[in-house]
Structure 1
Amino acid sequence: MTVPVPPDRPQSGEVPAGADPEAPLTPGQGEAPGQGEAPAPAPADAPAPADVPAAAPTVALTKVEAPAPADAPSLTDVPASGEAPVPADAPAPAPAAVGAPTPFASPYPAPAPGAGYGQQPGYPYWPQYPVAAPQPRNGLGTAALVLGIVGVVLGLMIIFFWVSWLPALLALIFGIVGLGNARKGVANNRGVALAGVILGISGLVVSVGAGVFVGYGVYHVREESRAARLRADEADRAAAERAAKEKERQDAAKKMFEEEDRARAADNKARHMGFGQSYTFVDGLKVSMAAPEPYVPEKMVSAAPKDSTIIQVKITVTNNGSRALSLDGSGLPTVKDANGTLITTLIDGSRRMKLLGGMLAPGGEATGVTAYALPNASAAPFTVAFAYFGGGGMQIVTWSGSPS
């Protein structure tokens, strides 16, 4: 540290020539007056000091160990008062006038009130030691913002909603801690921390909402699946019941058809009888044919074939029903030989031939008589067919047998 010193003033810290280096320094020697101390008044008859030049040379305030001169008094010669000896030939200092500069007065103006030393113009500047400013602890606020964004984005992605709550919760925690740091003054990113808190809350809300939405969707899908399964089971049961009923119906129809077939077969068998047997129709008409008898014509309209056997066919019908029955179309039976050849009826004018026809009252009876000439006096079986139309359709009854 250097300060300017007037050229005609003794340098501070220098020991006068001829002084004992071991002797204590008198006030004003080797040290500057203390701050706030007024300089010692100069004698009244002392010469006025020369003006301090504007640019005074500077000297280093370094303690110099001056060698003691050979003729310097020893420590034993120092007065008991502790004052330094003054050379005999040194002039006496003159008293300084009031307000006059002294050898120890500072050539620089006093600092302004409240100003630090070295901050006024004209004073030398001693730079302060650099002190590192504390770094703001903004990491938690920034982490809260980043985690909040990640939580919201993951929450909006349905497939990752189940992990979005973790970064959102961390963002909320870090954001709250970051707000506390900003409130204490150790962080300066309060807005970032607040955004992290808001995004953390939003991420939690989105995560919970997505969880509820997905849960409801899964529940709805499960319920729909269960309902569809129940509907399918019900449809299967209904189909099985319909199939069972259809099978029953088909079995019943088949059984009915079989019964009808059996009935038809039995009825057909019943309608094919031998001579002398009878058959009763559904409406109560009973028909029977007596055994064929030989017939001798009296008044033939046409001659019978030679070597033929003339037989008489007698068919008797009885109405056992409750209403009158029509015999129209049943008067003339059909006769065929063993080969299925149709045999023509003989016309006899003796009035013995009778044909069935008209209405037959309930309980009534009628007989029809016809004659046929069997060829070659054959004794082979022949067939007589009786047709009945009263039952809503043609129904045929046949008798088979030999002529004798």
Structure 2
Amino acid sequence: MSYDTQLPHAPSPVAMRNGLGTAALVLGIIGTVSGFIPFFFWLAGILGLIALILGVIGTGRAKRGQASNKGVALTGAILGLAALILSIVGAVLAYTVVSDAADKIDKAIKDSAPKDPTSKAPLGKGAGKGAGKGATDPKAKALAADDTVVYDDDVKVTVSPAKKFSPSEYAAGHTAGNKAWQVTVTIENGGKKKFDTTLVTLDARAGKDGTTAEQIFDDKVGSGFSGTVLPGKKATATFAFDAPAAAEDLTVEVSPGLDYNASQWELKVG
């Protein structure tokens, strides 16, 4: 008698699906590293999100016995979450840096813009009359003699009344038959920084037609300003201009420098 005995076949091994867990770990590492690199927050965010999703799926597979790398998948998910947090922090820091840089650029542009005269405080007779924005403001009126204009940085400019002036024999800029007029310009530094007078310029026009009044140079006038004015100090210089004999007014324009708008004084002559 023979017995035919059949033994049960051993079940075939299940292939482990570890790919997602491994991918989560790799992407989580790259994303976390990217989170520490300035302005790579966007890459950290993208990779971190993918790593987190793949890590969660990979961990689920490991719990169901479909994968054997639960620790790898869990680590990838944690690193993905860390990369997401770093991306948020990086985005905030990047926004702050860009915003600060934009503010500094705006401030630099404003500081480099010409300073406008204002009438912020009375400074004596007729202080600040018609100040506004000096020569750049079409509505601005010329100032009168002894009026003082105050600029944004507290630099103050005053022009005296015009007085008759007798040029010397060797004076330059004077035409025979014309009259010469002398004005005194005072600059007071009410600010907190030194004021450089090197770039102070004066121009003048005479009469209704606005004829250019040439500046006169001799041993008495024409040397102008020089050096710097310390805070709280003043500087004074005398100038003379040549005007037609029939002119009844002299318009003197003073520009304290390249960073300033010029202001005009209407002076009576004749």
Scaled by the length of structure 1, the TM-score of the pair is 0.31
Greater C-alpha radius of gyration = 1
Q: Which has the higher contact order (CA 8 A, sep 6+)?
A: 2
